[in-house]
Structure 1
Amino acid sequence: MDKIGIFFGTETGTTRLVAKKIHARLGDALAAKPVNVNRIEADDLLQYDALILGTPSYGVGQIPGRTAGCLEANWEEFLAKMPAGTDMRGKRIALYGLGAQERYSERFASSLKRLHEVFAGYGAELVGDWSTEGYVFEHSASVVDGRFVGLVIDQRTQGMHTDARLDAWLEQVKPLLVERLRQVA
């Protein structure tokens, strides 16, 4: 596929809102319209070579889904549809996750790490790590070597930073995703 695929899981709609902001910044010519993972099959995602994937945080560092307390299907249910032995080598993925650093300071945005582990396990190249600077929390499983494994958005307590964080992160990941599209073109 000659566009960046944008897929997200959501419970309250905030992850969807961020996906729409990302799409608006990238534009229709470069990115496909964002799609909720509870509305797709594995092949819908696998057709893309460059992806942006978003997740809310639910449970205690779990993949969001019904067993983590979500009322609707989310990443857990989508990932159950992935074929055994899925090989995503050659695909480049940037991740973003939502969390509430004041309310869940002891496990802030930890679901992002679980999604990172899943797609790394499929062999995908993950890009777009993000600084922890400007966030206040006790612990996050999503911090590796002092950085988040993807962009973290706290819309609840730091919504005033969302647009600037999106702009800076997209400046970082857009060239990497576009480069991947050119490599397969």
Structure 2
Amino acid sequence: MAKVGVIFGTDTGSTRRVAKTIAKCIGSQADKPVNIRNAGVENLLAYDVLILGTPTYGEGELPGKSTGNQTESWEEFLPRLKGHSFEGKKVALYGLGNQKSYSSNFASALRDIYDAFTECGAEIIGDGWEAAGYKFKFSKAIIDDQFVGLVLDEENQKELTEERIDLWLKGIDQAWS
């Protein structure tokens, strides 16, 4: 059985809460969720399966110091991936966004993580998440009319979060079973 790492980047609590929920749903195969500011590339490479989460800030940006975070986050971490191979690793992504207040860049930061790990040879799982059920103008996280991972809106559709997580995890649980 594969060991699962649940890694998130945030300066607030929503992405962390979702990480904890995901880890709890997976059970003993998932290690305790870790904030990306406390992880190095070597830490991520130690896992067979990674579940990576991010919120989207402002105009579609990753969390990081330039977006007002108190500590480093995905913005500072992703450049450290250069020269590392994630071939043979399975990576599932989840992103948080606000489809009303940030309709023009809804969950767009998720695409930056998708691109970075794809470039490093990771196999992306859990992509192809349907955009139906969301109301927004644009998202960089859409490829072929589907999100590159699970997208949650804790501000406007919190009541759907648990159901969406369960459905998404059922689609990827063979990666660690």
1:58 and 1:70 in contact (8 A); partners too: no
2:126 and 2:168 in contact (8 A); partners too: yes
Question: 2:61 is matched with which residue?
Answer: 62
2:2 and 2:176 in contact (8 A); partners too: no
Identity of aligned residues (%): 46
What secondary structure, in the 3-state scheme, does the structure 2 residue paired with 1:156 have?
coil
Which residues in structure 2 correspond to 1:93-112 (within 5 Å)? 93-112=91-110
> How far has the Cα of 1:46 moved from its partner?
1.1
Question: 1:183 is matched with which residue?
Answer: none
- Provide the aligned C-alpha RMSD in A: 1.4
Quote the Cα distance in structure 1 between the aligned partners of 2:77 and 2:47: 16
Q: TM-score, normalised by structure 2?
A: 0.94
> How far has the Cα of 1:17 moved from its partner?
0.2
Q: Which amino acid counterpart does residue 85 of structure 1 have in structure 2?
A: G
Question: 1:49 is matched with which residue?
Answer: 48
Which has the larger displacement, 31-40 or 62-71?
A: 62-71
Question: 1:166 is matched with which residue?
Answer: 165
Q: TM-score, normalised by structure 1?
A: 0.90
> How far has the Cα of 1:124 moved from its partner?
0.4
Question: 2:11 is matched with which residue?
Answer: 11
Provide, for residues 115-162 of structure 1, a one-character-per-residue CA deviation record: whole Å limited to 9, x for no partner.
100000101010112111110001111111010000001001100000
> How far has the Cα of 1:65 moved from its partner?
1.1
Q: Which amino acid counterpart does residue 26 of structure 1 have in structure 2?
A: I
Question: 2:116 is matched with which residue?
Answer: 118
Q: Which amino acid counterpart does residue 134 of structure 2 have in structure 1?
A: Y
> How far has the Cα of 1:67 moved from its partner?
2.0
2:59 and 2:102 in contact (8 A); partners too: no
